Amino acid sequence: MRQRSSVEIRRLPGGSPRRQAGVALLALLTVLTLWGLYLVVSELNTTQFLVARKEATGAALAQARQALVGRAAGDDNRPGSLPCPAIDESGIAPLLAGNHCPAYIGRLPWRTLDVGELRDDAGQLLWYALAPALRDDDSAQPINFETVPQLRLDGAPNVVAIIFAPGAPLVGQNGRPGNAVADYLDGSNGDGDQDFVSGPQSAAFNDNVLAVTRDDVFRLVNQRVLGEVRARAENASLPDHGLRGYQALNGSFPAADGDNDGWADAGVTTGRLPYRDLVFSVTASTWLTANDWWRLVRYTQSGACLAQIGIVGSSATMDVAGASPPCP
């Protein structure tokens, strides 16, 4: 008979030791997999949160730029000009101090622009720097496409305004809430000169910055000028205004101004606009003259029923079709 070994392996309920070890390994792998999934999902949630915050700040900056450009293009008596920065959180552009803004950097005048309290992802109101050449005052005239603003962003010129999302306070920015620029804007953005910088983000710099360029503003302002020169066909209360009014009354567009005196010169088809031969509203005539727009409007008489106008130095152009018979 076979003798039993003196060493007896005792089997626990549930199977062999090898099977129990396999089950334990599988359980460990399951835990590790679930933990890995948790970390991935957590990282995705954090990334999505940061992206959402960045998008919210970007949207606020873009809305502010759109409001400023719209305000400049729609100004009643000085198209192209912009309001002074607000000196506090009220969002109201202050009155001029003499012929100048009380400050050329401050809060975005959100109430004056009628856009609501635009804030960044840290809950801070946006800030705003304005080029003095674009202030809304008679002393700044002429304001037109050739106006040279003095602000620079990252060394780039021709910046008329800069919008800032200040972000959370950094070390040393202990004056919030308050109105000191250096408690909100970082580095050279808060030093009082006309040179500003953007990113990269760091522990010492978290401003988000968006420029409003001269082209941003005058792309629309130029079209408004050309619209005044053309005169809106649907404006029945001003049937004799602008080139269309002239053509309707005379059956042809005027000759061009060839000697820069504002009057049409017979036989000249290309030159400046003969604005003295045209009729404009008192308001439009005033700001077009005060801001030296007549010098910048180029004009071509293409025939009795067609003319072209444009702004010197820009890509802004407009065809003007005749409004009366025999023109189609």
Looking at residue 231, its pLDDT comes to 86
Are 104 and 130 in contact by the 8 Å Cβ rule? The answer is yes
Region 269-297: what's the mean pLDDT?
96
What is the rounded distance in angstroms from the CA atom of residue 309 to the CA atom of residue 242? 12
Looking at residue 29, its pLDDT comes to 73
The pLDDT tens digits for 230-281 are 986 555 556 789 999 999 899 999 999 999 999 999 999 999 999 999 999 9
The pLDDT tens digits for 170-217 are 999 999 999 999 999 999 999 989 999 998 999 999 999 999 999 999
C-alpha pair distances (Å), 38 with each of 31, 41, 50, 125, 324: 10, 5, 18, 36, 74
The tokens of 233 are what? 């066909």
Q: Where are the alpha helices (DSSP H) in 117-241?
A: 214-230
Does 14 have pLDDT greater than 70? no
> Residue 324: which pLDDT band, with cuts at 50, 70 and 90?
low
Region 138-159: what's the mean pLDDT?
97
The pLDDT tens digits for 91-135 are 999 999 999 999 999 999 999 999 999 999 999 999 999 999 999
C-alpha pair distances (Å), 91 with each of 125, 180, 233: 9, 16, 38
The pLDDT tens digits for 81-102 are 999 999 999 999 999 999 999 9
Looking at residue 16, its pLDDT comes to 66
Looking at residue 1, its pLDDT comes to 47
Looking at residue 106, its pLDDT comes to 97
Q: Which amino acid is at 183?
A: D
Does 75 have pLDDT greater than 90? yes
What is the rounded distance in angstroms from the CA atom of residue 150 to the CA atom of residue 133? 8
Looking at residue 328, its pLDDT comes to 66
Q: 52 or 80: which carries more pLDDT confidence?
A: 80
Which residues, including other chains, have CB under 8 Å from residue 110's CB and lie 6 or more apart? Answer: 64, 86, 91, 116, 117, 118, 125, 126
Does 27 have pLDDT greater than 60? yes
Does 17 have pLDDT greater than 90? no
Does 22 have pLDDT greater than 80? no
> Residue 322: which pLDDT band, with cuts at 50, 70 and 90?
confident
Q: Enter the pTM of the model.
A: 0.81
